[in-house]
Chain A
Amino acid sequence: MKRRNFIGMAGMGAAGALLHGLPAIGRTIAEAEALVIRADTAAKKRMADIALQAARSKGATYADVRIGRYLSQSVITRDKRVQGVSNTESYGIGIRVVANGCWGFAASEKMDTDSIAQTAALAVAIAKGNAKLVTEPVQLAPQKGFGEVSWQTPIEKNAFAIPVKEKVDLLLAANETALTGGANFVNAALFMINEQKYFASTDGSYIDQDVHRIWPTFTVTKVDKSSGKFQTRDSLSAPMGMGYEYLTALPEHKLTGGPTTLYKGRYDILEDIKAATAQVAEKITAKSVEPGKYDLVLDPTHLGLTIHESTGHPTELDRVLGYEANYAGTSFLTLDKWKTRQFNYGSKLVNIQADKLQPGSLGAVGYDDEGVKSGQWDIIKEGILVNYQTIRDQAHILGLPASQGCCYADSWDSIQFQRMPNVSLLPNKQTRPVADIIKSVKKGIYILGRGSYSIDQQRYNFQFGGQLFYEIKDGQITGMLNDVAYQSNTQEFWNSMTDIADKSDYRLFGTFNDGKGQPSQSSAVSHGSSTAKFEGVNVINTARKIG
């Protein structure tokens, strides 16, 4: 009862806004159904071959097929009650072709032989029908076939196999910790995703992948009726490409010694919510910041979003080329800047690497959604712009012999296009503890957590808030601040980076829902970094009176 087809041509839209929450996908299923295998590899290969053969017979010069089963589970609580438990599944086939030099795409949730062949024929018909609108035929970077291969997120515990009751109990225990600690309200939630993706192409690849993601999160609210003020503190967790083991933190996963415990590779929701409950009360009475220039010490729980917005998005090649002009805009990192091989993006300490390999990251896959093997490459090297992020039909623009593997679709019935890989700031190669960075600051602010964020349509001017702000005076943290946001310009900001901690502090920040394209698609991506120092950044006071 559902039909969806797209016509696609070279160069798709580019990145935009971050979306909140978890997109509702597919039909509701019982908890146990998530663990049922819908089709074995041999059956999927048969279906894929039917599609590829049908596409070829209709005149496609290239075709790829994605048979996708997308599972999502969310458990949402408020205070002492469960607000909702949702299990959904979406299953179907998407077929993309090149015919007469033009992209065509069609998708169907009907998986019988005739329907698959009809869907492939429709994709070819769409491509041919729109070929007259193409000014430049699709030019695909060569890609060897891998034969039959598979990849799975290296998880220890499949989150979908953990009973919902266990998840509910954990979240309600977290809420209880907050409420008994003095919070007025608390919301805690757990989101889980499993993408079971089978890809096949006329290049000779048959790729079976099983991708897992998890995101525990909460918001604690404290209200002070006498002053009429309220404050919130969100979880310092990162969504991760992991299984349920992410929620089992051992001492080696905890970074202590600062104003709050931080988590590396695993997360302790009960400990974090206890700290959040104390901190949200402290925020109510915290000193309002004096606007001016400060040195900022930015924790990875915060810095990841700045990397995402000011580095990840402007280096998306399709965005640079203008395919997202009507949605998220374009990019200041134009091709002429890259061609000089001298464009100064940041200080010599700024080394930004793209990858789809980091264990535990949201972007980690074996192969992208057009059959390109995952890899890593430099985007900014010692402060200089050296590369972008590309897919097969754009690689030639950069003179690359192959795609960088940045193609992704958020569903079997969405057309795949260029999406951000993990984009990370490399840590200091020398030993550099965070404590020493803080000691080096005369007048500064230490910022943790993801707050408000906004950046212009070419990624110059931005403003970021956070969850926790601590004043630094003469190398010492002296107390909490409030009403803090910093404004800067991308190039100026990254050139003000004068220090970064070593790999012992390196952690992943993640976002579950990065929006791009029209109609919008969502993707998940991680950003690694260590704590870094930025000198002389403009801080504003965000407080206003509303009478």
Chain B
Amino acid sequence: MADADVSAELMQTPLHDLHVELGARMVPFAGYAMPVQYPAGILAEHLHTRGKAGLFDVSHMGQAWLVGPDHETTARALEAFVPSNVVELGRGRQRYTVLLNAEGGIVDDLMVTRPVAEDDDGRLFLVVNASRKDVDYALLRAGLPDAVRLEVIEDRALIAVQGPKAVAAVAAHAPDAARLAFMTAAPMEFDGIACHVSRSGYTGEDGVEMSVPAGAAEAIVRALLADERVRPVGLGARDSLRLEAGLCLYGHDLDETTSPVEADIAFVLQKRRRVEGGFPGSGRILGELAGGTGRKRVGLRLDGRAPAREGAEIRLPGGPIVGVVTSGGFAPSLGAPVAMGYVAAGHAVPGTELALVVRGKELPATVVAMPFVPHRYHR
């Protein structure tokens, strides 16, 4: 039952020493030593985030700029990789999107932000998954036009503060944070330190993500943790929070074979792109939008208390396999197990009775609409 040793070869975020000081259990994650939990434990961290505010070190994620001569040029360059409308993204606006391969499979999911300042016209800020940084950067570099370049950011940390008290806690040091709407971003000062703050996150709660200078990250986190509303939260609760919120985890719920339509994130395609096409795999994806897919991501509520984990078979009760669980576990806010997975078309309608196979036994489960716990974004 012992955790694997955290090897000295793992990369460390600028907050590593603080995690250790706070008593975090450090585990290897995407090449980094990361806190999976602090002494309070995953359940307490999860519920604290839902009730007040949780602070997450997400500095392992990739931050990068796309830099071109003007917004139109840079946005068009990114639109060659993603199915979203980037050209018409307003200043200071942020959007969730996916990098696609030629078959319309998802190479990564990411956030793209157009800076609010006119002086930054032609720049787009990207945040990508830690486990996919190298793949994403290679893909972009190989396909960007000469006028647009990728600048990977190595000297900044990324801190998420999530929960109903998150913005108030951040605004005590960075008052401008309170003025951001959901999925908008702006540069601001946190106790005099220049930061880039977006109102977004990965828990279903209101909150912010702050890109901060690496050297100032610890001071910022210590200032936030001095607020009794804010507690440190590890990757364990980050995973249970995003599962309850019905959000996908790359490498589990999304991969290079899966299209955005199958993943039920077709909202990444805005209308102009659906009409014009012209993104990788657009033939498949537009065909799936018009004619449906063979499989679809669904949410599942289980009867009883036993969680079903990733890899569990989804069957018709007493019958054939119709799918597989891609994320599953205990939902602390619900006090019950939940799962998400892919099922063959025809079994994806909410209310459908299915069975999840755990340790050889069929556990009754029902297809339900996601999120499992309502989103509380600041619209």
| Chains A and B are bound partners | no
